[in-house]
Amino acid sequence: MQQQPEAIITQIFPDLPLGRWAQLVAITVKQDDLYTVCTQLRQHPSLDFDMLVCLTAVDRTTYLEVIYHLRSTSRNHDLIVKTELNEAQPELPSMVPVWKSAELFEMEIYDMFGIVFKGHPDLRRLFMPEDWEGYPLRKSYNANEVADNYLKSHQLLINQ
């Protein structure tokens, strides 16, 4: 069964607000401290979070929330790290030097939300075509009627 790392987290990071996200222990980190906190989480011997299980984002209309779900295979505990971003200019440092699984996750988030990860080796649109405009998973994006416009503009319709 999974264990909860609350005690160790409060010991090593005493000034980070601790909470719960879906019954997992969660800490909220500011944008500028994110890289140092994540490197410490990876390398500290009693934490040893060596797997980035998932990296996702939620559009909360006033701000963008980015969520890192970390797991330690040796200590058998999970942790959630949250940051909040401004929608006007969302930027974050890339976690690829720390966990290799971040490469594909960050490309997907750039494609769907428009968050730029500085230092990523190959940041490009992953799912949508290269010349797509807009970020589909934002709440302000309207999903209807974009498909026919794309087909028309690329001369793919049969009776054009």
Specify the amino acid at residue 2: Q
CA distances from 156 to 117, 125, 129, 130, 152 (A): 34, 22, 14, 16, 6
Question: What is the number of residues in the chain?
Answer: 160
Nearest of 19, 1, 133 to residue 67 by alpha carbon = 19
Pick the binder of other proteins from 56, 75, 84, 93 (CB under 8 A).
56
Instruction: Locate 58 and state its tokens.
Output: 């939620």
Does position 120 bind other proteins by CB under 8 A?
yes
Contact segment (CB under 8 A) with other proteins among 7-15, 28-36, 52-60 equals 52-60
Pick the binder of other proteins from 32, 62, 88, 129 (CB under 8 A).
129
Residues 6+ apart with CB under 8 A from 45: none
The nearest distance, CB 12 to other proteins, in angstroms, is 21
Does position 73 bind other proteins by CB under 8 A?
yes
> Most distant CA pair in the chain: distance in Å?
68
Contact segment (CB under 8 A) with other proteins among 9-17, 29-37, 149-157 equals 149-157
Instruction: Locate 23 and state its tokens.
Output: 């019954």
Residue written as token pair 């087909």? 151
Pick 8 or 103: Cβ nearer other proteins: 103
Pick 30 or 100: Cβ nearer other proteins: 100
Residues that bind other proteins (CB under 8 A): 1-2, 21-24, 50-54, 56, 58-59, 67, 69, 73, 76, 99-101, 103-105, 108, 116, 118, 120-130, 136-137, 141, 143-144, 146-148, 150-151, 154, 156-159
